[in-house]
Amino acid sequence: MNKPVDTNSGLSRRGLLTAAGGLAIAAGAIGAGGMAAADRFTRRDQPASPASMVEPFYGVHQSGIVTPQQTHSIFATFDLDTSTRADVITLLKRWTDAANRMSRGETAQPLGQPKDAPALDGGSAAGLAAARLTITFGFGPGLFTRDGVDRYGLAARRPEALVDLPKFNGDQLIAEKSDGDLSIQACADDPQVAFHALRELLNLATGIATIKWVQSGFTSPPPAGGTTRNLMGFKDGTNNPSTHDNDLMSKMLWVGDEGGWMKAGSYVVVRRIRIALEHWDKTELGFQEEVVGRDKAVGAPLGKTHETDPLDLDAEDQDGNPVIPATAHSRLSSAAENDGSQILRRAYSFNDGVGFYAERWPPWRQGMMLDAGLFFVAYQRDPRTGFIRINKKLASLDIMNQYTTHVGSGIFACPPGAAEGSFIGAALFEGLTG
């Protein structure tokens, strides 16, 4: 209409921040016709996001695994529509480049296209900081074979550890919240930054992959520090393995030489766990603590004083009953009860409004209840000796199951990090022909 062809370089995220924060002159310097001179809004040599807000994308491992947890998460899976391996590689290269750019607080693609073309970045994160955005990619079983078909000549490279999850006792999985050929988890300290990342990656997948499901979540660290609480009101993560313990991480988190192209990667299992929060909130405090096996206020194991006191699984009370009940969640999920198995949890709470549910307890009320709970995310070197072993026990014995229902599920091989100039999963495709 009234405007000449222009560029939308003015949407550069870093540039806008710089302009607003430090260059008051910039706004006044825009031409009267509404044209923004690209160099006034982009200052490539001066990232506007403090370094503390940037989590590097390239590296030995993917970011978003041992990265200190951000406050917001969006997990999404995609199904591949294409019939060619070349398309899959194209998509992974696009995603790699965009993820690296966005993690630095930049637009998904370099701008500069004319106004009569779709924007190369939708702009919904313009002016926002990098916010410690991480984007973690995963490969589901469907990348290797789907319905028995080896679509991309990758079937022989499916890792042994990328098993199909067994059906666990109590599972009520729905297809609309489960599985997928590819997974993306975008985490950031700003929900709009995380959602922007998902949308840009979604746009880049057009014609190659279709989005299957999405799960958002949040976690709120106490301002004064310490362990965060989950929606059950208990501290959650006290016994999580320390990501600062490199030896431990090499042992239980990162894939080693056994993994071939997956070396330095990890496997993620996600579970959408609905919690009957109304029921939980009406449960006696003492019983809640028996369910968890911990004191609610402090987080100490029952019978102990401090949050970080180790669980004493042998302790008995004066009547000879275990102090931490046999059915307590913290007992059953402990390494000691699972042949030493450990997983790195990186879960988020979710709040998806309400749904129509039937209670499992008297008087079996039916009606609108919260559709909220825990989006469980756990990384490990091998799910067979990690999540699967632990959850088999929990699914059968954990008294917390009275309140929790697993309604969504997925398992994904998260390849190692990409080196600059390469792309996520490059090693998987090395040496393939045809």
Q: Which residues, numbered 107-126, are part of the site for its own copies (CB under 8 A)?
A: 113, 115-119, 122-126
Site size for its own copies, by CB under 8 A?
A: 103
Position among 10, 159, 265, 410 found at the interface with its own copies (CB under 8 A): 10
CA gap 70, 51 in Å, rounded: 15
Binding span for its own copies by CB under 8 A among 91-99, 153-161, 284-292, 425-433? 284-292
Position among 269, 276, 300, 400 found at the interface with its own copies (CB under 8 A): 300
Q: Which residues, numbered 232-261, are part of the site for its own copies (CB under 8 A)?
A: 232-234
- Can residue 128 be called a binding residue for its own copies (CB under 8 A)? yes
- Can residue 369 be called a binding residue for its own copies (CB under 8 A)? yes
> Measured from the CB of residue 27, what is the shortest distance to its own copies in angstroms?
6
Sign of CA dihedral 91, 96, 102, 108: negative
Binding span for its own copies by CB under 8 A among 84-92, 145-153, 164-172, 348-356? 348-356
Position among 42, 43, 48, 390 found at the interface with its own copies (CB under 8 A): 48
Compare residues 202 and 395 and give the one whose CB is closer to its own copies: 202
Binding span for its own copies by CB under 8 A among 87-95, 243-251, 291-299, 379-387? 291-299
- Can residue 229 be called a binding residue for its own copies (CB under 8 A)? yes
User: One symbol per residue from 54 to 73: x for binding its own copies (CB under 8 A), - otherwise; what is it?
Assistant: -----------------xx-
- Can residue 421 be called a binding residue for its own copies (CB under 8 A)? no
Q: From 131, 139, 109, 138, select the one nearest 195 (Cα to Cα).
A: 131
Q: From 241, 235, 195, select the one nearest 214 (Cα to Cα).
A: 195
- Can residue 220 be called a binding residue for its own copies (CB under 8 A)? yes
Compare residues 225 and 431 and give the one whose CB is closer to its own copies: 225
Position among 54, 89, 214, 397 found at the interface with its own copies (CB under 8 A): 214
CA gap 107, 122 in Å, rounded: 9
- Can residue 367 be called a binding residue for its own copies (CB under 8 A)? yes
DSSP readout, 4-24? -----GGG-HHHHHHHHHH-H
Compare residues 336 and 354 and give the one whose CB is closer to its own copies: 354
Could you tell me the two tokens for 269? 């299992």
Burial class (CB in 10 A: 0-12, 13-18, 19+), 292: buried
Burial class (CB in 10 A: 0-12, 13-18, 19+), 225: exposed
- Can residue 218 be called a binding residue for its own copies (CB under 8 A)? yes
Could you tell me the two tokens for 377? 């995310």
2 touches 37 (CB < 8 A): no
CA gap 157, 139 in Å, rounded: 12
Compare residues 56 and 303 and give the one whose CB is closer to its own copies: 303
- Can residue 37 be called a binding residue for its own copies (CB under 8 A)? no
- Can residue 304 be called a binding residue for its own copies (CB under 8 A)? yes
Position among 97, 289, 312, 359 found at the interface with its own copies (CB under 8 A): 289
> Measured from the CB of residue 242, what is the shortest distance to its own copies in angstroms?
20
DSSP readout, 376-421? EEEEES-TTTTHHHHHHHHHHH-GGGGTEEEEEEEEEEEPPPPPTT
> Measured from the CB of residue 265, what is the shortest distance to its own copies in angstroms?
27
DSSP readout, 149-180? B-TTS-GGG--TT-PPPPPPTT----GGGB--
- Can residue 370 be called a binding residue for its own copies (CB under 8 A)? yes
Could you tell me the two tokens for 60? 């030995």
DSSP H or E segment with residue 246:
helix 246-252
